[in-house]
Amino acid sequence: MDLRTAVVGLLVAAASLQAQAPARQALVDDLVTANHILANEGVVDGYGHVSVRNPANASRYFLARAGAPALVTAADIVEYDLDSNPASSVGNNTAAGYMERFIHGEIYKARPDVTAVVHCHCLDVIPFAATNTPLKPMYHMGYFIGEGVPVFDIRAAAGMTDMLVSTPALGQSLARVLGRRSAALMRGHGAVVVADSLHVVVAKAYYLNVNARMQLQAMQLHGDGVVGLSPEEAKKAAQTYERSWDAWKSRLPR
Amino acid sequence: MDLRTAVVGLLVAAASLQAQAPARQALVDDLVTANHILANEGVVDGYGHVSVRNPANASRYFLARAGAPALVTAADIVEYDLDSNPASSVGNNTAAGYMERFIHGEIYKARPDVTAVVHCHCLDVIPFAATNTPLKPMYHMGYFIGEGVPVFDIRAAAGMTDMLVSTPALGQSLARVLGRRSAALMRGHGAVVVADSLHVVVAKAYYLNVNARMQLQAMQLHGDGVVGLSPEEAKKAAQTYERSWDAWKSRLPR
Amino acid sequence: MDLRTAVVGLLVAAASLQAQAPARQALVDDLVTANHILANEGVVDGYGHVSVRNPANASRYFLARAGAPALVTAADIVEYDLDSNPASSVGNNTAAGYMERFIHGEIYKARPDVTAVVHCHCLDVIPFAATNTPLKPMYHMGYFIGEGVPVFDIRAAAGMTDMLVSTPALGQSLARVLGRRSAALMRGHGAVVVADSLHVVVAKAYYLNVNARMQLQAMQLHGDGVVGLSPEEAKKAAQTYERSWDAWKSRLPR
Amino acid sequence: MDLRTAVVGLLVAAASLQAQAPARQALVDDLVTANHILANEGVVDGYGHVSVRNPANASRYFLARAGAPALVTAADIVEYDLDSNPASSVGNNTAAGYMERFIHGEIYKARPDVTAVVHCHCLDVIPFAATNTPLKPMYHMGYFIGEGVPVFDIRAAAGMTDMLVSTPALGQSLARVLGRRSAALMRGHGAVVVADSLHVVVAKAYYLNVNARMQLQAMQLHGDGVVGLSPEEAKKAAQTYERSWDAWKSRLPR
């Protein structure tokens, strides 16, 4: 390769990076908004996290460094490779990462179709995991529950633990239980939710919880006589949830 | 018709339109407020809609173009004919309409007494639809529940669907199930509520949900021993809800 | 009576009125605050009302004219005699009064010890009235529930009605059911709560509702094994609730 | 002791006090924040209190004078000895103390490992105390519930009372029931929670209540089949809750 070719190649690469910069910034901003919405709507409290795959490089994902979702800013976003090691950094690369970031990395590895992941301690689903009560899709906003929502029990993978999915092996176990589905409950812990966009994953996490609350109410009325969506209805009722995102964004403080 | 007659006719028509304009604007403003109240009080989230019949032309109704109720402005309101085609427009006539606007148009056709319609995914009524548990009027604010609240099951009308009332035929089926009543539940979806004014329809949608929550609590105390209003009491206890509107309006953000 | 005596008498009366004016204004301001607290804490919504007896004249009480509690101002307060006719007025004497103001007047007649009255549609007590489930004092903040909380059924007094206590006779029936107690439920309607001060009546209405919610939860855990306060504990645990008032006042909007 | 020695000793003591002053002020500020967080997150209402042991003197603790937690300022903080007598004062030493401050003093005496104490009327735990239903750790955030949460019944210690832990003897009884654990329920009253830091005690009080709510829901799904954390998992899942504190602090009004 002569100098000229090398220089041209360098210029092309630089131009490509520059062209990607605005898209990257927009995605990071959307990820910050996703953090704030999840906190403001009570899907996460001080704990829980949301990530998005880098659309320009499918083997990278963006996730905030360890911190409360309500307080995340663009400077907190780190880019990880799929082994969940920091790759390049938007802000401070040396900041501590979430101990459970392997949830994200291992699911992105196992599921090329997944673009965004939420891990939450959604309060209304934990009683379902604690009693092995299958979730049912109660209305079209919870359509994806029709795929089934398996329960990940960390004991089956690793015996007695601190309940955290804090190693690649545990992330792989969780990804296996999740399979091709949109969500899995985690016994004594919470849930993981995936989707093909950041807006949709936020909404699925929100409605997973809402749907659980309604199902509990329905079971109190008539335990074994609850009729939600049929499997076929659930498939047909897929949502973009774009109006939810608009409404939630408009409700953020400041 | 001579020129003089034509000109006079034109002037009369223009004056009439001009006279209607403030009333029309006031109604549009009230419809915007209704959208915001329903969102702020949690009757709708990013989804759901509210319409009002044009008092100057009973074969037209006003409804926002597709969007989250919390964000609706006067510029978003469209005037529809009863086949739910855009008629004239307040704002941008070409904007996409709600896919389920046939709920509104077909009910206005079938019910000349109805002036306003709400469609919501009210969370507390969905468990009642999922278990076919009849709603009872628990207090005077839920008096209209004494008429009975039927359940519309879209399967009976159209088999396996995406759950949406997105055609004139489905709107007609829903209107038939609603009959002469104030409200109908929609299995796996939500509810539709009608009234003879915008203020009353907002309140009926709100109290339908509140009443369901109280009924579930009462059934937890004493399943088959719940005594709400008798049919005669329910008829006598009709409300204007005007103070609710005042209170809710004063709570809107900004 | 000579002129001198008359003039002196007039001056004395005027001085007395002037001396009372600041106290009266302070009481009216407190009554406005009570309205706002009850609305802000969800004890009342657009409906419900609170009154206070005139400490300078035991046969008069203050109550807002008909309107949503959240919006009451000092100018809305009217002074009523115990037959619930407007006596003198702080603001606009000709404004429509609450149709159910007889709840207040007839209780003040029957209960010289009562200084303040709340009528609310407290949502958590209505299921108890609907199922004739006796309320129990679950903790010291609900100590007064140890006196027993009877249920007023308007059918027993007047057959089929619009559920409203809108006549002196109905107010007397309600006062009879209330007896010497702090609170009575009203079937299909709500509750009435009384106390010897405005601050205490607001707190009793609030904690009546909170206590009902906790009792329902306890009964879901162990229906007939719920142990709250014993009668003697309930008597000893009387509260002033003054810190509640401070906290609620500090939370009011603006 | 000659004058020189006395003066040097005085100067050393003054320097030491001065060195402690910033740490003391920071702790007082953190205690004020703890009061506000507990109120803002609904763990306490107008009643309840939180204290912290003086790190510079283990036989002293800081607690606000009697008042609603939401309104506490640094000037309200009093330093108590372990008999709960005012020792020195940050603000106004003569202000009335909480009648139940013996809860704090007697626990600090009995538990050298305890650095902070919360007493609350947490609404979701009272039904568990009223029915003697053992609390279980439902998820890792409630890990400390795995130690067991005993119920203090004031009748066993003192017969018929006003329910208040208002004497040293009652404080000692409560401390005995608490034992080595993180929390004890108080029948007909609320709970006491302890920890080795102010941030952790606030979080334990919060999650004690959240965990109770989830356990009730799980028991409604499947009464005797609720599986939370195993004892070993609970031990391993200990939390610092530091992100919760960050998130709650950022949500405080103003």
| Contact state of B68 with A225 under an 8 Å Cβ cutoff | no
pLDDT in tens, A143-195: 999 999 999 999 999 999 999 999 999 999 999 999 999 999 999 999 999 99
User: Which amino acid is residue B230, in one-letter code?
Assistant: S
Mutate to test the interface with A, among D143, D243, D244, D250 (most CBs of A within 10 A): D243
- The distance of B156 to chain A (nearest Cα, Å) reads 13
Report, as residue numbers or ranges, the catalytic residues of B: 100
Specify whether the CB–CB gap between C174 and C163 falls below 8 A. no
Position B94 confidence tier, pLDDT thresholds 50, 70, 90:
low
- The distance of A151 to chain D (nearest Cα, Å) reads 12
Tell whether C73 lies on the interface with B, counting CB pairs under 8 A: no
- Per DSSP bridges, beta strands A151-152 and A183-186 are parallel
Q: How far, in Å, CA of D109 to CA of D87, rounded?
A: 16
- Within 8 A by CB and 6+ apart from A72, the residues are A32, A35, A36, A64
pLDDT in tens, C83-142: 999 997 555 556 689 999 999 999 999 999 999 999 999 999 999 999 999 999 999 999
Span of C6-10, C152-156, D211-215 with lowest mean pLDDT: C6-10
Report, as residue numbers or ranges, the catalytic residues of D: 100
Mutate to test the interface with C, among D131, D155, D160, D224 (most CBs of C within 10 A): D131
* Average pLDDT value for residue range D164-183: 98
* Average pLDDT value for residue range B25-42: 97
**Chain A residues with beta carbon closer than 8 angstroms to that of B67:** 243, 246
Mutate to test the interface with B, among C65, C123, C226 (most CBs of B within 10 A): C123
| Angle subtended by helix axes D3-40 and D242-250, to nearest 10 | 70
Reduce the DSSP state of residue D127 to 3 states and report it: helix
* Average pLDDT value for residue range B67-74: 98
Tell whether A156 lies on the interface with D, counting CB pairs under 8 A: no
pLDDT at residue D60 greater than cutoff 90: yes
pLDDT at residue C172 greater than cutoff 90: yes
Helices (H) then strands (E): counts for chain A: 8, 8
- Per DSSP bridges, beta strands D151-152 and D183-186 are parallel
Question: Which residue reads 């006395």 in tokens?
Answer: D6
B247 vs C45, C121, C162: nearest CB: C45
- The distance of A41 to chain D (nearest Cα, Å) reads 13
Reduce the DSSP state of residue C89 to 3 states and report it: strand
- The distance of A222 to chain D (nearest Cα, Å) reads 11
Specify whether the CB–CB gap between A50 and A28 falls below 8 A. no
Position D9 confidence tier, pLDDT thresholds 50, 70, 90:
low
CA neighbours closer than 13 Å in the CB half-sphere of residue A236: 12
pLDDT in tens, D72-91: 999 999 999 999 999 975 55
Strands lying side by side in the sheet with A77-81: A86-89, A77-81, A60-64, A49-53, A116-120, A190-195, A183-186, A151-152
- Window 74-133 of B: residues touching C by CB (8 A cutoff) are none
Tell whether C245 lies on the interface with D, counting CB pairs under 8 A: yes
| Contact state of B70 with A250 under an 8 Å Cβ cutoff | yes
User: Token digits for B22?
Assistant: 């403030």
pLDDT of residue B215: 98
Tell whether D218 lies on the interface with A, counting CB pairs under 8 A: yes
Tell whether D247 lies on the interface with A, counting CB pairs under 8 A: yes
pLDDT in tens, A187-226: 999 999 999 999 999 999 999 999 999 999 999 998 788 9
pLDDT of residue D78: 95
pLDDT of residue B20: 73
**Chain B residues with beta carbon closer than 8 angstroms to that of A217:** 124, 127, 216
| Contact state of A222 with B131 under an 8 Å Cβ cutoff | yes
Q: How far, in Å, CA of A240 to CA of B67, rounded?
A: 13
Share of chain C above pLDDT 70, in %: 90
| Contact state of B138 with C128 under an 8 Å Cβ cutoff | no
Neighbouring chains of A at 3+ CB pairs under 8 Å are: B, D
- The distance of C216 to chain B (nearest Cα, Å) reads 7
- Within 8 A by CB and 6+ apart from C62, the residues are C27, C28, C31, C51, C52, C53, C54, C77, C78, C79, C80, C90
D233 vs A121, A188, A219: nearest CB: A188
pLDDT in tens, A34-81: 999 999 999 999 999 999 999 999 999 999 999 999 999 999 999 999
Specify whether the CB–CB gap between A203 and A244 falls below 8 A. yes
Count C/D contacts: CB-CB distance under 8 Å: 103
Neighbours of C4 (CB within 10 A): 8
**Chain C residues with beta carbon closer than 8 angstroms to that of D220:** 220
User: Which amino acid is residue B126, in one-letter code?
Assistant: I
Phi, psi dihedral angles at B95 (to 5 degrees): -65, 150
Specify whether the CB–CB gap between B191 and B125 falls below 8 A. yes
The candidate with the shortest Cα–Cα distance to A114, out of A167, A181, A168, A161, is A181
Share of chain D above pLDDT 90, in %: 85
| Contact state of B216 with A217 under an 8 Å Cβ cutoff | yes
User: Which amino acid is residue A247, in one-letter code?
Assistant: A
**Chain B residues with beta carbon closer than 8 angstroms to that of A142:** none
Position B119 confidence tier, pLDDT thresholds 50, 70, 90:
very high
Question: Which residue reads 């409906």 in tokens?
Answer: C47
pLDDT in tens, B187-239: 999 999 999 999 999 999 999 999 999 999 999 998 788 999 999 999 999 99
pLDDT of residue C38: 98
Position B31 confidence tier, pLDDT thresholds 50, 70, 90:
very high
Q: Which residue of C has its CA nearest to B232?
A: C160
pTM of the model: 0.93
Position B12 confidence tier, pLDDT thresholds 50, 70, 90:
low
Mean model confidence pLDDT for chain B? 93
Alpha helices, H only, A47-167: 102-110, 126-131, 154-158
| Contact state of A218 with B187 under an 8 Å Cβ cutoff | no
Q: How far, in Å, CA of C213 to CA of C219, rounded?
A: 10
Specify whether the CB–CB gap between B51 and B193 falls below 8 A. no
pLDDT at residue C13 greater than cutoff 80: no
**Cα→Cα distances D145→A229, B45, C58, D151, D212, Å:** 37, 36, 54, 13, 10
- State chain B's maximal CA–CA distance in angstroms: 78
- The distance of B239 to chain C (nearest Cα, Å) reads 10
Mutate to test the interface with C, among B139, B206, B207, B248 (most CBs of C within 10 A): B139
